[in-house]
Amino acid sequence: GNSVTQMEGPVTLSEEAFLTINCTYTATGYPSLFWYVQYPGEGLQLLLKATKADDKGSNKGFEATYRKETTSFHLEKGSVQVSDSAVYFCARADTGRRALTFGSGTRLQVQP
Amino acid sequence: EAGVVQSPRYKIIEKKQPVAFWCNPISGHNTLYWYLQNLGQGPELLIRYENEEAVDDSQLPKDRFSAERLKGVDSTLKIQPAELGDSAVYLCASSPGGLAGSYEQYFGPGTRLTVT
């Protein structure tokens, strides 16, 4: 079935460090891909998306590029802030079911 | 614009008791989802509504879980009777939906259920 695999956390970085959170998906069809962020005590918020190969989604300094050849959608940010501390979820849209399949989440902790 | 509203935010009940969760989606969103999120995991779909019709309930444990969206707006998810393993966060999400609708989903804050 469709699945999404994320790197395990927690990822601990110092402020202003470079961030990469890896995400790969099963290559069934051409799904839309998403990154959601969940801050402590809050619901999931859409961070960015890409709907076709080579698309780059970006928001709030975060970027991710839809790589069909490697079935990946890695999340990157050039300089993280303490306020970026949260859990990040990679997800793919299942076209037929119109539902999202999520990875297990990666906790990011940014230290001042 | 108001986001997805859920209530209650927290609920503690004893096992074998019933519980209900309520969701009000973003205005105009035809598609409504209920997801289950276990601790340390990503959300998993329980049921999807297109307007008032449940079009995907294959992951809903129908022996104890039920849901409704009578007028195609608000929705209620019920568990009766609750079991210890039902302790989790129940998330509601909505999407514009439709044939040309976006796959983007907007989530509410969730209801954290603790069954003792």
> Which pLDDT does position A5 carry in this prediction?
95
Q: How many CA atoms lie within 13 A of B111 on its CB side?
A: 27
Residues B62-95 have pLDDT tens digits of 999 999 998 889 999 999 999 999 999 999 999 9
Integer Cα distance of A96 and B47 in angstroms: 14
Task: Using a pLDDT cut of 90, give the percent of chain A over it.
Answer: 76
Tokens of B7: 């209530």
**Mean of all residue pLDDT scores within chain B:** 92
CA distance A3 to chain B (A): 11
A49 in contact with B at a CB cutoff of 8 Å? yes
Question: Which residue is listed with tokens 């998330």?
Answer: B91
Tokens of B104: 């983007």
Interface of A with B in 65-84 (CB under 8 A): none
> Which pLDDT does position B91 carry in this prediction?
97
B77 CB neighbour count, 10 Å cutoff: 23
How far is CA B82 from its chain centroid?
A: 15
With CB atoms and an 8 Å threshold, state whether A42 touches B44: no
Q: Is the pLDDT of residue B1 over 70?
A: no
Residues of B in contact with A4 (CB under 8 A): 42
**Mean of all residue pLDDT scores within chain A:** 92
Q: Tell me the count of A-B CB pairs closer than 8 A.
A: 53
